[in-house]
Structure 1
Amino acid sequence: MRRGGPSQVSRRTFLRGAGAAGLAGLAGSGLAGCTGFATTGDGGMIFLSTQFRPVNEAEAFRSTLAKTISGVSYVTIEEGPFAGQVRSQVGSGATQMGLLGGLHGDLAPLADGYLEDVTDLLSDLSGRGFPADYVDLARSGTDRAWYIPWADASYVLAAHADALEHLPSGADAESLTYDQFLDWAIAARRANGGRPMLGLPLGPEGLFHRFTQGYLLPSFTGGQITTFRSREAVSAWQYLRELWANCNPASTTYDFMQEPLESGEVRMTWDHVVRLVEAPERDPENWRMLPAPRGEHGLGYMAVLAGLAIPKGSTDPELARDAIRALTTPRAQLDVLRSNGFFPVVDTEIPGNLPPAIQLEADAVAKQKNADDAILSLPPVGLGEREGEVSKVFQDTFRAIVLGGADIRSTLDAQARVLQGVLSELNVPCWAPDPAAERCEVG
């Protein structure tokens, strides 16, 4: 996640240094024994969150929180130990937190006895216009709400004017098909003397697996897990081979695409909005942020939805409810957009005076989300510390098929067995866009 405007400290500097700073302030927080917590130790009700963990992002949000509601201390924790801390504290009857913040995948697994029912609060706030899909997610497959939608982010395309010159004839940059996107990459490479203009985040810390999970496969197959081995999935991987042939081979080293975009090494890409924002900051007139392409089944896109929940035994349930009410007002939602770059989930007009880079992203995210054929995808839900094993399946599939030239069908069959092994051990339901069956089966 990112801040809303220019900063004297480079974003990449504090993102890479965040791990070392993650335990700062534990002694003053009273939570030194809880692995993974990081806070300034300001006192007040603990708001435990997996979001905005890098130091500058946490401080930016604390400033927003302080002017939104008093008496709340923002404490961050990594996703892995988050569920364990909540389960341990609630289970022992010694809850130290008053409010929780996390992604849908962080909160949904806790609906089985560790979160307060907030159905009445969601009803009270219904006039704020939360998207129906998000309200359904907050119910986690039940008839009650377990969290309140807080903010969201996504992934989009980014392109410089140098690349936009080579769009295929008749193609609308804001309504591309995957075939047109490939044709565009081919035309840009040829016009650039054979040097690819397209780059993708395939480095060790890159997020390209989210592209296959939430964009390519849903668009080609309508699903992610239940269609993993389908005939349409074979076509999707064949497509990706062709796209890779027109992609800068240095992509295997790219983590944050704003860096090669800024340097001019590539001129078109796809990535998380957080990891794109610096590229257009200094020259917004020459940049476009665009919705993802669409395939036969529609426009697959991934929503990174964050929510606010109240743990069982909250230290101050009324203050927690007041904080949720305050953080879901249009003003507070726009403050978070400016300070941390996550978009509103309430019905409010995006102002025209945002920093240009954020405005570009806001427009692209809105067009993607509101497309008639949009297919909502989520990051894996309910996997906890084993989420990395599922992501590795998609990463290994790419390496084998696209980089290694392995047979597509046999590779998908082999990786499907690995994927099913993890899901069977965890015995979890599937997540969007797949149907939420009680047990997720690889298809």
Structure 2
Amino acid sequence: MFLSTQFRPVDEAERFRRLLASVAPGEVSYVTIEEGPFSSQIRSQVDAGSTQLGLVAGLHGDLAPLAGDYLTDVSELLRRLGERRWPPDYLELARTGTDRSWYVPWATASYVLAAHADALEHLPPGADADSLTYDQFLDWAIAARKANGNRPVLGLPAGPQGLLHRFTQGYLLPSFTGGQITTFRSAEAVTAWEYLRELWANCNRSSTTYGFMQEPLESGEVLMAWDHVVRLVEAPERDPDNWRMLPSPRGPHGLGYMAVVAGLAIPRGSTDPDLAERTIDVLCRPDTQVELLRSNGFFPAVDATIPDDLPPAITLEADAVRRQQEAEDSLLSLPPVGLGDREGEVTKVFQDTFRSIVLDGDPIRPTLDRQAGILQSILDELRVPCWAPDPPADRCEVA
């Protein structure tokens, strides 16, 4: 049994099962599960000495808390597969602060900017669309709004199903402050939220309803947007020549970006560790990872050549993701790690901060102080270390 937190929607799961069946070196049953039960099921089986699983997969944040006691050391497997050339940052994540590797980086996703040619006409003079600063991004949104009869053409996913909290966690705050949690209430964070207020003033007012930005982009309701790569792929399908996918902007501390890194791990007491290793081998081959990109929109974690026959949006996104990763001033951020089913409470802190400061116009400093207290109380109860880009201290504290 291959238990995974990834590809839970029915169509995504079926596409992956077809891919798995075409490459699996044995009989492998792919079963999906939510993050909370994923962790508890592995812990309970291993603790009882009765593991019923052969292989598991999850995001870094799902796997890191299980390292050591509940996962098998895969350092030797990674050494044997070393020619696959994983990015050093991903290999460092797999060690989870130890001298051994606890999972094999499998696939990755990120967030980028999408822009139609009609919006690109209004870039600030001298600005490089592939290397924007946040100030240039704001100037661009203002210029595009004015050129469009004062109607904003920038959209952000701030609806109930939107991922705007990932923008503040992984992009805005790291770029302005160098951190996510430890700098949450810093003077630089105040500046970041002041910036977001001004940017929001130049966003389409329907942004509070947007979940997947590909929909308003495809309809022409907005001409430029930021979102998860999987939630942008449909926009350029009909007219790919008039679309660009761009790296996110950079701020005083660099180009903050969030990598969603999925890994493959072998639970302690695996029902078939040899089959698990062979399955990891085939899933981490460059051609298999390209097929995963083609079917489910997750990018290769190994060194793989992206072919020209992929859907237009994926080809465009691949270049933008690569530019984010390879930028000299890139600053890798992760989604929260080790929070389990309480991640929603941390997400709510960022959502409530946005609602108070940007939508309701509340004073920034008192809002940050209040939300910092809520955030710290959650972290105190969980006693988890910080995650990138914050330093890996044993106890994560909001400064």
Task: For residue 427 of structure 1, report the CA deviation from its aligned partner.
Answer: 0.2
Structure 1 unmatched ranges of 5 or more: 1-45
CA distance in 1, matches of 2:245, 2:303: 22
Deviations 1:281-338 (CA, angstroms, capped at 9, x unpaired): 1211111100000001100000000000000111101000010111111111111111
Amino acid aligned to 1:236: A
Structure 2: distance between partners of 1:195 and 1:81 = 45
Determine the C-alpha separation between the residues in 1 that align with 2:32 and 2:54: 13
Q: Which amino acid aligns with 2:226?
A: W
- Of the three residues 83, 97, 111, the one matched with 1:141 is 97
- Using the alignment, how far apart are the partners of 2:82 and 2:185 within structure 1? 40
Matching residue of 1:159: 115
1:221-260 mapped onto 2 (5 Å cutoff)? 221-260=177-216
Partner of 2:384: 428
2: distance between equivalents of 1:231 and 1:125? 45
State the distance in 1 between where 2:204 and 2:359 align.
13
2:169 paired residue number:
213
Q: Distance in 1 between matches of 2:46 and 2:295?
A: 32
Q: Which runs of 4+ in 1 moved over 2 A?
A: none
CA distance, structure 2, for counterparts of residue 170 and residue 131 of structure 1: 32
Aligned-partner SS, 2:291 = helix
**Secondary structure of the equivalent of 1:143?**
coil
Shift of 1:410: 0.8
Aligned match of 1:63: 18
Partner of 1:342: 298
3-state DSSP class of the match of 2:106? Answer: strand
Aligned letter for 2:383? N
Tell me, in whole angstroms, the C-alpha distance in 2 between the residues paired with 1:164 and 1:134.
33
Q: Deviation at 1:232?
A: 0.6
Say yes or no: does 1:280 pair with 2:236. Answer: yes
Contact 2:68 2:102 survives alignment (8 Å): no
User: Equivalences for 1:11-410 in 2 at 5 Å?
Assistant: 46-69=1-24, 70-410=26-366
Residue identity opposite 2:184 in structure 1: F
CA-CA distance at 1:112 after TM superposition? 3.6
Distance 2:384 2:9 in 1: 30
2:29 match: secondary structure: strand
Q: Quick one: distance in 2 between partners of 1:305 and 1:437?
A: 21
Q: Alignment identity in percent?
A: 75
Structure 2: how far apart are the matches of 1:136 and 1:110? 16
User: Partner amino acid for 2:316?
Assistant: L
Q: Which residue of structure 2 aligns with residue 33 of structure 1?
A: none
The count of aligned residue pairs is 398
Residues in 1 aligned to 2:325 and 2:243: alpha-carbon distance in whole angstroms: 21
| CA deviation string 1:75-130 (max 9, x = no partner) | 10111211011111111122111000110000000014010111111111111101
Deviation at 1:347, TM superposition (A): 1.3
SS at 1:120's partner residue?
helix
Structure 1: distance between partners of 2:106 and 2:233 = 21
Q: What is the CA distance between 1:132 and its match in structure 2?
A: 0.5
1:210 partner SS:
helix
- Partner of 1:233, secondary structure, is helix
Matching residue's letter, 1:364: A
What amino acid does structure 1 have at the position aligned with 2:169? Q
Question: Residues of 2 paired with 1:220 and 1:388: CA distance?
Answer: 24
Deviation at 1:140, TM superposition (A): 0.7
Q: What secondary structure is seen at the aligned counterpart in 1 of 2:236? A: helix
Supply the distance in 1 between the matched residues of 2:175 and 2:385 (Cα, whole angstroms). Answer: 21
Deviations 1:192-222 (A, max 9, x none): 1011000100001100000000000000010
